Structure 1
Amino acid sequence: MAEAFKNLAWDDFRLIKAVADAKGLPAAAAAMGVNHSTVFRRLKQIEEALGAVLFERHRTGYALTPAGEEMVALANRLDEEITAVGRKLAGREPAPSGELRVTTPDSLLIHLLMPMLATFRERYPEVRLDMVLSNQALNLSKRDADVAVRATDNPPENLVGRRVARIAWALYGRAADFPAPGEVSPEELDAHNWVSLGDSLGSLKTVKFVQENVAPEKVAYKINSVLGLAEAVEAGIGIGHIPCFIGDARPSLVRLGPANDDYAADLWLLTHPDLRHSPRVRAFLDFLGGEIARHRRFIEGQTGLQEMTEGGAVTA
């Protein structure tokens, strides 16, 4: 078998790993961007070259044999080594250039980061931004992303970065419905419909508040993304908790109470330790950290729309 290894390419190991992960050929082919027959033919060639069966074919899918388990373990080690070398080489670039993959939630991109990214591109035109909109923690160790901009109080321990602000939340309603927002009584709030993040985000304290304090029939609208909360309040569907940097940027909305620190979350800029000295990563972290610092009081709910617009950012 040792001699047969000389004829195997990295793509062959990727194919074995893909079949093992998918437990079948169609899904493995789709993951690799090739057709089913190509995977079937190449897997057969690999097994013949190795003189060993790597998978047992069952009606429920493909199961690894002991030889297949060894090959997948080797494929995983090779993948880790190749990824590690890629990270280290990326960290040695002489100047800010190349592609930079950034992951962040859609609400942060649309309501806060977009004008900052436009200014970053003007300053560093050789850096191409590849934005990945996701609320999930992507694997920066695998280069799923180079930088993560996240609202979290518990950043992953395997990443490095900086806390740049604390995102404040408050209860908002339409200004037309609340001409004296500072004098709203609990009875008035109870009489209104509510909007809320969905139950899938039930770990958030704003969601728990609605679940515990608002009658189910008064919750008129749920959404699984922060992006649409302000639009729902602005459309008159109901009152709801939204981040202050979104609510305060809309003249048609008013706060119906002070910012509640229990609902706040830290805003982090994160990267993998191997990438922190990469010129493009370093330039991006420093630039975005400085831009967010300029608007920190707005993000933390301490100022109104005027200071944000005077600071140079374009708000929704």
Structure 2
Amino acid sequence: MAVAWDEFRLVRAIAERGALAPAAAQLGINPSTAFRRLAALEAGLGARLFERHRAGYVPTPAGEAMVAAAARMEEEAARFDREVADRASVPSGVLRITAPAGLAIDLLMPMLARFRGLYPRVRLDLVVSEEALNLSRRDADVALRATREPPDNLVGRRLSGVAWAVYGPAAGSPGADPLWVSPDEGVAGGLFARFVAARAAPERVALRLNSVQGLCEAVAAGIGIGALPCYVADRHPALRRLSGPEPDLAVGLWLLTHPDLRRSVRVRAFLEHAAAEIAPLRAALEGRRAERCFEHPDGATA
């Protein structure tokens, strides 16, 4: 039986997701369609590709072989795409960029607007995701990430530092033992949760979020004080700083791509554009201000 490429993609998606519904959503098809296609494929091959358990779909040896073949085929297709992208002389085509929500909303949108003005033949595809996408598979061409350790398999440059400080509402004083808001343990490997835990007892954490999104709004609403990115919070009229930049939360702002894409005209154009756009913003990103008098949570100043 000759197996179409789409069937390899289906089997790989089911193996990665462990269930039909999320695999179908990933591929943009209905779960019933995925079910029928898998049943027809197994019948045509005369072999079961998955064991159906209560916990999900587990590949059989035949299924594992097909998943491995799909990975090799996808890598070859991605390699071909990268080679073709390298041959363009004028920036054009689709440029797929990934960034977490905070950076996409507060930093990237104006940059993308000006990039489009310079290169109207480039069509932008922005993937807002907190997860690191696989640039080797062309899930994205360029990644903008705030991190301390960029992946070894990617290349790029550190554009700036990203500073975080403790903020409270602009009106009123936090007092000696303030309430806090904090991302939970699942965000950034627990970095923020540990930072707050070192400064407040569990009962003083009034709100936990499963994302950094919403932190500024929670602090501005008076729910509690919290660590916020300086480049966002310093511009927020309802917030004021209570500390200087916190070394425990400092990260770098990295612009990353796959090594095979460095020579792509549109990728290179965006890397250069982003670096030029970020340069004048470094002072704000790194939390450097002319006035450095902050009120600490205990009411003292520094």
Instruction: Compute the TM-score of the two structures, normalised by the length of structure 1.
Output: 0.80
Q: Runs of 5+ in structure 1 lacking a partner? A: 179-187, 306-316
Instruction: Answer whether contact 1:298 1:304 (CA < 8 A) is retained.
Output: no
Q: Runs of 5+ in structure 2 lacking a partner? A: 292-302
Q: Structure 1 stretch 12-21 or stretch 286-295: which is displaced more?
A: 12-21
Instruction: Answer whether contact 1:170 1:259 (CA < 8 A) is retained.
Output: yes
Q: 1:123 to 1:304 in 2, by over 3 A?
A: farther
Larger Rg: 1
Q: Aligned pair 1:166/2:161, yes or no?
A: yes
Which residue, out of 49, 53, 60, partners 1:55?
Answer: 49
**In 1: Cα distance, 2:33 partner to 2:191 partner:** 50
**In 2: Cα distance, 1:257 partner to 1:198 partner:** 21
How far the C-alpha of 1:166 sits from its partner, in A, is 0.5
Percentage of pairs with the same residue: 52
Which structure 2 residues correspond to residues 1-316 of structure 1 after superposition, within 5 A?
4=1, 7-21=2-16, 28-35=23-30, 39=34, 42-43=37-38, 46=41, 52-55=46-49, 64-178=59-173, 189-201=175-187, 203-303=189-289
Instruction: Answer whether contact 1:101 1:132 (CA < 8 A) is retained.
Output: yes
Q: Structure 1 stretch 222-231 or stretch 55-64: which is displaced more?
A: 55-64
Tell me how large the CA RMSD over aligned residues is: 2.7
Instruction: Answer whether contact 1:248 1:304 (CA < 8 A) is retained.
Output: no
Q: 1:149 to 1:304 in 2, by over 3 A?
A: farther
Q: 1:278 to 1:177 in 2, by over 3 A?
A: same
**Could you report, residue by residue, the CA deviation over 1:165-218 in whole angstroms, capped at 9, with x for unpaired residues?**
01111111223214xxxxxxxxx6433222222232274544213113212222
Equivalent residue letter for 1:223: L
Instruction: Answer whether contact 1:54 1:66 (CA < 8 A) is retained.
Output: no
**In 2: Cα distance, 1:166 partner to 1:111 partner:** 16
**In 1: Cα distance, 2:239 partner to 2:57 partner:** 56
Q: What SS does the aligned partner of 2:131 have?
A: coil
Q: 1:74 to 1:204 in 2, by over 3 A?
A: closer
How far the C-alpha of 1:286 sits from its partner, in A, is 0.7
Instruction: Answer whether contact 1:53 1:65 (CA < 8 A) is retained.
Output: no
Q: 1:58 to 1:138 in 2, by over 3 A?
A: closer
**In 2: Cα distance, 1:242 partner to 1:56 partner:** 46
**In 2: Cα distance, 1:142 partner to 1:29 partner:** 19
Instruction: Answer whether contact 1:249 1:304 (CA < 8 A) is retained.
Output: no
**In 2: Cα distance, 1:58 partner to 1:239 partner:** 48
**In 2: Cα distance, 1:263 partner to 1:36 partner:** 42
Moved over 6 A (4+): none
Q: What SS does the aligned partner of 1:196 have?
A: strand
**In 1: Cα distance, 2:30 partner to 2:61 partner:** 27
